[in-house]
Structure 1
């Protein structure tokens, strides 16, 4: 049975940095993000780790984990929103108190997806893969990203529909931010490995950043088979994956490892996010990777969806039942908050 946290506007948000924190030159943008939420009526509580960064992490692993555990136990905090991703969240996993996990939304992506996926797999608590806290500091929020609050507000037993974006950001232009930070200039087009123009997939969503969630394989925090048997009664799993910075052969190796570890057992399909990192090696392109995987698993693959490090992002809920449809390059994702 999957548990879905409730969410209300004017909730209190706990901001922490379980991976990377904020160096001094980023403090202004962090404060701006906090003020944007406060303007909308939310309360903000920032942990100490938000304001520090040294040697690829905000703080030692035990301190990062303790701050997260404390926010999870604190009944005055209704949602936990990590600052952004980073590199070494996996260090804190052995110190997370899974026995004290409460029904609160946890939101993020990139390195944060290690924590999100592990919590859903271990506890059956739905977690939200979407934007980062700091990326909501703009004067406005683009329509795709703005669905975050609507998705989190979905009631148990109800569903929520999201559409593919009209356009996406090719390159970050930090010196020329738009009112909603992103430069959405390139037309969005969701693609498929099949020759059909239309495809429809269904299943329980699981996923995250492939660079980092692969490191949960073989650990107590990456038991997909246990999750399948104990929380979703063996329903098909619809994976979503996105690549931050690894090349095509590393993507391939990671996918093979997932397959050999049983992560793709009872898989109904795979969704891949857009990426600027999919550099081909010896002519082996990311499209070759997707095609090889389609042939091996015998399932459809949709790629270049609104997920990951090439914004904007649809909010995807680990554990929710989803229906994904693509027609002529346009996509819809309907998520059902069912047990």
Structure 2
């Protein structure tokens, strides 16, 4: 059974940094994002860790785990929203009491996806993979990014639908700030390995391959147990994105996931756009996807709106998703089934 939190209007957003915080020269970004959330009707409560950064993390693991736990336990906080990702979130999972985690939204991506996936796999509480807080500091958000509010306010049993973005951002242009933060000027096309339209459905799970792969073999990465105990054996739909892996490392990671049983009962896989995926000789990104499609015999869609090449769809771990891709355009309908 999956439990879905629900974000209420005017809720308090708790900002903590379970991975990286911000160095002093970047504090203005967090202040801008906080002000924007306040203008949109939220209360914002920022902990100590977001203002800190030392040795590739905001604070020692126990400090990060404690502040995250305190925000979860605070009844006034309706959403725990890290400023962004980082590198070493995995250090905190052993310091969390998963049996005491209440049904409360946690939203983010990149390194934060380790936390999101671990929570949903261990507890059956839905978590949201989408924008980070820092990217909401603009005057407005594009339609794809802004859907995080719809996702988090949908009641249990309800549904919402998102469509592929019209345009995506190919590269950052910090010298010319955009009022919506992103520079969306490249046409979006969701592609399939088969070259044909695709449709599949199942329970969503996923995140950044670079980091969630390290949950394999730990008590926090048992996908088979999750499928058996929380979703009654429903098929899985994996959404995955690559931050820094070259094609060979991505391939190794996906083989490890397959051997660990993560793709058992999988009905399809979605891969986000990536600025990485560097070829290894003549072995390229498309070869990785073709190899996996051949091994699993399921539809594989790539260059979707997910991950480090914005904007991105909000995917809810544990939700029942219906995916359709037609002539390069994608639709994702998520239903909050128990």
Q: TM-score, normalised by structure 1?
A: 0.99
Q: How does 1:248-267 map to 2 (within 5 A)?
A: 248-267=247-266
Q: Supply the distance in 1 between the matched residues of 2:25 and 2:206 (Cα, whole angstroms).
A: 32
Residue of structure 1 equivalent to 2:74: 74
Residue of structure 1 equivalent to 2:137: 137
Q: Work out the number of aligned pairs and report it.
A: 338
Query: Cα offset for 1:177?
Result: 1.7
Runs of 4+ more than 4 Å apart: none
Q: Supply the distance in 2 between the matched residues of 1:140 and 1:152 (Cα, whole angstroms).
A: 18
Query: Cα offset for 1:9?
Result: 1.7
Q: Supply the distance in 2 between the matched residues of 1:25 and 1:324 (Cα, whole angstroms).
A: 42
Q: How does 1:108-127 map to 2 (within 5 A)?
A: 108-127=108-127
| Unmatched runs of 5 consecutive residues or more in structure 1 | none
Residue of structure 2 equivalent to 1:189: 189
Q: Supply the distance in 2 between the matched residues of 1:14 and 1:145 (Cα, whole angstroms).
A: 19
Residue of structure 1 equivalent to 2:337: 338
**Conserved? CA contact 1:190–1:304, under 8 Å:** yes
Query: Cα offset for 1:6?
Result: 1.1
Query: Cα offset for 1:29?
Result: 1.0
Residue of structure 2 equivalent to 1:205: 204
Q: Is 1:215 matched with 2:217?
A: no
Residue of structure 1 equivalent to 2:97: 97
Q: Supply the distance in 2 between the matched residues of 1:195 and 1:207 (Cα, whole angstroms).
A: 23
Residue of structure 2 equivalent to 1:155: 155
Residue of structure 2 equivalent to 1:54: 54
Q: Supply the distance in 2 between the matched residues of 1:322 and 1:108 (Cα, whole angstroms).
A: 19
Query: Cα offset for 1:195?
Result: 3.2
Residue of structure 1 equivalent to 2:9: 9
Q: Is 1:317 matched with 2:316?
A: yes
Query: Cα offset for 1:50?
Result: 0.6
Q: Supply the distance in 1 between the matched residues of 2:212 and 2:172 (Cα, whole angstroms).
A: 25
Q: Residue 150 of structure 1 aligns to a residue in which SS?
A: helix
Q: Supply the distance in 1 between the matched residues of 2:132 and 2:264 (Cα, whole angstroms).
A: 30
Q: Supply the distance in 1 between the matched residues of 2:286 and 2:318 (Cα, whole angstroms).
A: 28
Encode CA deviations 1:110-142: one digit per residue, 9 max, x unaligned: 000000000000000000000000100001111
**Conserved? CA contact 1:16–1:83, under 8 Å:** yes
Q: Residue 179 of structure 1 aligns to a residue in which SS?
A: coil
**Conserved? CA contact 1:72–1:100, under 8 Å:** no
Q: Residue 66 of structure 1 aligns to a residue in which SS?
A: helix
**Conserved? CA contact 1:203–1:323, under 8 Å:** yes
Query: Cα offset for 1:336?
Result: 0.4
Encode CA deviations 1:245-277: one digit per residue, 9 max, x unaligned: 110000000000000000000000100000010
Q: TM-score, normalised by structure 2?
A: 0.99
Q: Is 1:299 matched with 2:304?
A: no
Query: Cα offset for 1:7?
Result: 1.0
**Conserved? CA contact 1:113–1:209, under 8 Å:** yes
Q: Residue 145 of structure 2 aligns to a residue in which SS?
A: coil
Query: Cα offset for 1:175?
Result: 2.0
Q: Residue 271 of structure 1 aligns to a residue in which SS?
A: strand
Encode CA deviations 1:22-54: one digit per residue, 9 max, x unaligned: 100111111000000001110011010010001
Question: Root-mean-square deviation (CA), in Å?
Answer: 0.6
Query: Cα offset for 1:156?
Result: 1.0
Encode CA deviations 1:277-335: one digit per residue, 9 max, x unaligned: 01000110100000000000010100000000000010000000000101100000000
Q: Supply the distance in 2 between the matched residues of 1:21 and 1:108 (Cα, whole angstroms).
A: 14
Q: Residue 337 of structure 2 aligns to a residue in which SS?
A: coil
Query: Cα offset for 1:174?
Result: 1.6
Q: Residue 70 of structure 1 aligns to a residue in which SS?
A: helix
Query: Cα offset for 1:226?
Result: 0.7
Q: Supply the distance in 2 between the matched residues of 1:131 and 1:311 (Cα, whole angstroms).
A: 9
**Conserved? CA contact 1:269–1:300, under 8 Å:** yes
Residue of structure 1 equivalent to 2:87: 87
Encode CA deviations 1:139-197: one digit per residue, 9 max, x unaligned: 1111110111011111111110000000000001122121101000100000001132x
Residue of structure 2 equivalent to 1:277: 276
Q: Supply the distance in 2 between the matched residues of 1:6 and 1:310 (Cα, whole angstroms).
A: 28
